[in-house]
Amino acid sequence: MRIVGALLLISAVSFPVLADSYYRWVDEHGVVHFSDSPPEASIELNIELKAIPLNTHPDIAAPMTPEAPPVPPQPPAPLASDILLLSPLNEDTIRNSEGNITLSLSTDLPLGEQQSVRAVVDGKPLKSQKDLSIQLNNVDRGEHSIKVQLLQGGKVIASSDSATVFVHRTIHRKAPPKATPKPL
């Protein structure tokens, strides 16, 4: 129902626009009127409607973009050249029943692709890694010497000062046997 009403409204509005003849007259008050139906005293006008151009702006060619100059290769980023053992500090006592120690490291610059770090515990180098935090597990109780090394391509390029740490672990001892009296 709405569609039929809309079609009737559109056709009623557009019908006068499609008329071929237009009329003009001036009433007794001097007002000029235009219409598509002829009144008693009117002049017929032939009006030619010109097509309205849809594209009113001139065609503009896209500006030519100059070729981008070649990008010079970036110099390699500076690599880390120094390493520090931040924790544990020298002569720290570590109380951990499992014997776990976390080493926190710092370098002067971020590690490069070919760089890694490793811990050296009591003179024995451990596996190298890219992380600046190293977890040592099941370290025996007692005194230990720890230092860290900065490696590039597997070769040592820097080493931290050695730190002495003391590991205290809980000892689980068996209860002494109960004393039994000797028979008489």
pLDDT of 52 reads 73
Q: Sketch out the chain's domains with CATH numbers.
A: 83-165 (2.60.40.10)
Each of the 184 residues of the chain gets a pLDDT tens digit; together they read 677 666 665 665 555 455 466 777 788 888 887 777 777 665 666 667 677 777 666 667 667 777 777 888 877 778 888 999 999 999 999 999 899 999 999 999 888 889 999 999 999 999 999 999 999 999 999 999 999 999 998 899 999 999 999 999 887 777 778 888 887 7
pTM (global) more than 0.75: no
Q: What is the DSSP string of 36-88?
A: SS--SS-EEE--PPPPPPS--SPP-PPPPPPPPPPPPPPPPPPPP--EEEEES
By the 8 A CB rule, do 168 and 147 touch?
Answer: no
Q: How far is CA 113 from the centre of its chain?
A: 21
